[in-house]
Amino acid sequence: MHNRALPYLLTLPSLILAAVVIFWPVVDLIQISTHEVSRFGQLRDFSGLDNFAALVADPDFIKALVRTGVWTAAVVGGALLVSIPVAVILNTDFYGRSLARVIVMLPWAVSLTMTAIVWRWALNGESGMLNSALRGLGLADHNIQWLASAATAFPMQIMIGILVTVPFTTTIFLGGLSSIPDDLYEAAALEGAGPVQQFRRITFPLLKPFVNIAIVLNTIYVFNSFPIIWVMTQGGPANSTDILVTHLYKLAFRIGKLGEASAVSLVMLAILLVFTAIYIRLAMRGERA
């Protein structure tokens, strides 16, 4: 009955599919990035690391790289700061809690593309509803051209990024909070610990592994996130809101610098692999504990 080959046969189809669709492109990208390549993708001479050198010499790439760092840190950090209190609140018992949960989860349920399209309209300079709301409330006396300069567009994109990251993050924390036994709090209350002390001494330390997981997973998702920026500004005006993914897309499909585009892909892959390694270590540690 025990067929030794069976588990391999069962996993084979998924391996083949992933190998063709995920790993073949990786190999292809390595090839392109180390060759001279025409606009139409014909490979010419081997060129070593020339494409990578061209990247490093390109100020647009460096700016996009730095901006990706800001974008990722701001969205992940912001989502964390919002999600911990939200999870703590949603974990208490109050009227309308299930409604509150549904509202908090809503941004997760809508595709990023659609969210970004709605915001692009809401932030419209002349007739956007954010401007009319702000003017109606007396918070602004003239229309703000939100998407016309990076100084207002990029913070808005970060805000939207945070908004769509909060549901997933809150969910992880709710899972973490439900694993903390209530009697810990009862004991602490008996000893005279106030809510702030309870949070600092009990909630936060016990939540810490979940915070770590949330940081790493969100970093990976946000680092890869394309639709918000592409739909709202396409990295513009004048590349001033470009992050690596939008820069990569422009290099590959607008400008046709395929060699440099593949080099960007590989740099991103390398960064992602580092994050993934961190995640695997964290997850393994959690499993052993």
Closest separation between CB of residue 47 and another protein, Å? 17
The number of beta carbons lying within 10 Å of the beta carbon of residue 208 is 11
- Spatial separation of the C-alpha atoms in residues 151 and 158, rounded to whole Å: 12
H-helix or E-strand spanning residue 3 = none
- Spatial separation of the C-alpha atoms in residues 120 and 241, rounded to whole Å: 14
Instruction: List the beta bridge partners of residue 37.
Output: 43
Closest separation between CB of residue 200 and another protein, Å? 18
H-helix or E-strand spanning residue 124 = none
Closest separation between CB of residue 48 and another protein, Å? 20
Nearer to another protein, 123 or 150 (CB): 123
Give the burial string for 109-136 (b: 16+ CB within 10 Å, else e).
Answer: eeebeebbeebbebbbeeebebbeebee
Closest separation between CB of residue 74 and another protein, Å? 16
- Among positions 132-171, residues that touch another protein (CB under 8 A) are 132-133, 135-136, 159, 163, 166, 171
Binding part of the chain for another protein, among 7-15, 65-73, 144-152, 186-194 by CB under 8 A, reads: 7-15
Q: Are 214 and 234 in contact (CB under 8 A)?
A: no
Q: From the list 36, 63, 108, 145, which residue makes contact with another protein (rule: CB under 8 A)? A: 108
Closest separation between CB of residue 146 and another protein, Å? 13
Q: Counting contacts by CB under 8 A, is residue 121 touching another protein?
A: yes
- Among positions 180-209, residues that touch another protein (CB under 8 A) are 209
Q: From the list 57, 109, 137, 190, which residue makes contact with another protein (rule: CB under 8 A)? A: 109
Q: From the list 111, 201, 205, 255, which residue makes contact with another protein (rule: CB under 8 A)? A: 111
Phi then psi for 34, rounded to 5 degrees?
Answer: -105, 10
